[in-house]
Chains A and B, each alone.
With several copies, the nearest count.
Chain A
Amino acid sequence: MGGYGDVQLLREDGLRLDGRKLDEMRPMTIEAGVLPAADGSAMVTHGLNVAVAAVYGPMEAHPRKIQRQDRAVIDVRYNMAPFSTSDRIRPGFNRRSREISKVTAEALESVVLCERYPRSKIRVEIEILAAEAGTRCAGLTAAAVALADAGIPMRDLIVGVASGKVEGIVVLDLDKAEDNYGQADLPVGILPNTGEIAFLQMDGDLSPDEYNLAMEYNFKAAAEIHEIMVDALKRRYEGGEN
């Protein structure tokens, strides 16, 4: 977290700079089945973020050394397009994207019924086309919808959602300015039906109480996002506009 500078992030009326309430999230749309070449896919727009996920597989896991005898492995690549950020990003993986790919894969492996596909691999490609804080959550949500779109059996979806702290106040879903000048960020991946957590990161400074409030916001928002996810999958499968 940046946590420095004189930027004011909360208005005198208690709302945030863009008019949101403390526990209000940015607008979100989800569309499933957006990529013809993929076995499953989804696009999530969240605020100004654009995240696309494609799923391929299950397929033979190679190289051999990544195979698991008793289950499928999920191979995630989270990647930010060079033009997705204010300063261009050089193509190719960096340490941040490798870490996010790892923990995202582990979160997805927690809900996919991997045991059904021993020795195989499921490829999940997450591409961030435009980034405005919160891309790892948007990517995780897109990946979950894309897996469902691909017909991969899962014991629950995962909802990616984050809360944080600005000017000492806990708020839901940091936007870009709040992320740059905020004091903490708590992105999680929530299983909407069981209420379990499959993804957890946090950095910054949070007291135990602040942590509890941020988590409360996250769970509340997860229920909202879950509806949007289910809606996207319904539109895809029950005929509909797509």
Chain B
Amino acid sequence: MVELVPTLLRQELSRLAEDDLRLDGRGQWEGREVTLETDCLYNAEGSAKVVMGDTIVYAGVKFELRTPWPDRPAQGSLMCGAELRPVAHRKYEPGPPSPQSIELGRVVDRGIRESGCIDMESLCIVPGEKVWGVMIDIHVLSDGGNIFDACGLAAIAALRTAVVPAERFDVGEDYTLKVKGTPIMASFTRVGGRYVYDPSEEEELGGDERIHITLGDEGHLHSLQKGLRGVFTPAEFAEIFGVAHLRCVELRKLVANQEGN
């Protein structure tokens, strides 16, 4: 893939940044409209669809019975993976998982795992013999920018609506998976020299490094990741950290509302 640096786009974005403007008219810390739909896929034990501007992401949860790891006999397991398949954008090519797709999956995974929202011991059926493995698969169908946040949101929403298929596996009655908390990710990209929240596809193309922050219900950090070429100062981080808190609270409400339906 020849990536000609889109010089004109960078210039335009810099010019806009001087006036504190963005290409699509948003404010610096303003996100795009987000719609969230859950329980939308047959065969998935939990599912969610997130539309965030031109970005469309599905997540599906599946369960399997496993033998526990010898050193954690009373714990189940959680796995979260993302596939950046060629369906999502002209720029994605077929083949084994790219570094981008591995990073995406691992950052989303860490945010959920480290928030402790799934109690691994609650996934134990018979200690040392049988535990649940929970697998969240995220499928990006259209990359219109900021897929990290969309994937994080789809993953936790699918997880929060998942039903453990105990009957199908002959280990009791189905029940709703217990999920404590709603970790939410907020992502920022440097565009025209300053950071913006929820970058669009063009802003990513003409921007620089990005920072992903996952916050739990109490506002604690559960995952951080800086991606792409570029550096930032502690002062810059302090500012976006503050914005992240506000945006995460809003999105957490969206998840709660969806569940209330």
Contact = CB atoms under 8 A, between A and B. Distances in A.
Does chain A touch chain B in the assembled complex, meaning CB atoms less than 8 Å apart? yes
Interface of A: 1, 3, 34-39, 48-50, 52, 54, 56, 59, 64-65, 67-70, 77, 79, 81-88, 91-92, 95-96, 98-99, 101-103, 106-107, 109-111, 123, 125, 127, 129-132, 184, 186, 191, 194-208, 211, 215
Chain B interface residue bracket vs A: 35 or more
B61 to A, nearest CB: 7
28 contacts: A3-B116, A35-B141, A36-B54, A36-B56, A37-B54, A38-B142, A39-B90, A48-B43, A54-B141, A81-B139, A86-B43, A88-B135, A88-B137, A91-B137, A102-B103, A103-B103, A103-B225, A106-B226, A106-B230, A110-B230, A111-B231, A127-B85, A127-B87, A129-B139, A131-B42, A202-B225, A203-B113, A208-B220
Tell me which of A54, A203, A206 has the highest count of chain B C-beta atoms within 10 A of its own C-beta.
A203
Interface string B204-241: 00000101000010111111111111111110010001
B135 A69 contact: no
Contacts of A1: 114
A169 to B, nearest CB: 15
Contacts of A38: 87, 142
A110 B209 contact: yes
Interface stretch (B1-9, B19-27, B170-178, B246-254): B1-9
B60 A83 contact: yes
B199 interface: no
B90 A83 contact: no
A127 B135 CA distance: 19
A203 B41 contact: no
Given A84-B60, A202-B221, 10 more contacts: A3-B116, A35-B87, A64-B2, A82-B62, A99-B102, A102-B227, A109-B229, A130-B41, A195-B233, A206-B221
Contact of A199 (B54, B58, B226, B237): B226
A227 B5 CA distance: 37
B161 interface: no
Nearest to B233: A196
Contact of A103 (B43, B219, B226): B226
A200 B229 contact: no
A99 B219 CA distance: 26
Interface string B82-104: 01011111100010110110110
A84 B220 contact: no
A239 B41 CA distance: 29
A5 B219 CA distance: 25
B47 interface: yes
Contacts of B105: 95
Contacts of B87: 35, 38, 52, 54, 77, 79, 125, 127
The 5 closest A-B pairs by CB, nearest first: A83-B60, A202-B224, A36-B54, A125-B87, A200-B226
Contacts of B56: 34-36
B194 interface: no
A36 B142 contact: yes
Contacts of B192: none
Contacts of B94: 77
A99 B99 contact: yes
A82 B83 CA distance: 10
B3 A205 contact: no
B58 A196 contact: no
A125 B58 CA distance: 16
A77 B232 contact: no
A101 B99 CA distance: 9
Contacts of A110: 209, 229-231
B215 to A, nearest CB: 10
B221 A48 contact: no
Given A103-B103, A198-B231, A205 B58 contact: no
Contacts of B137: 81-83, 88, 91
A132 B42 contact: yes
B224 A201 contact: yes
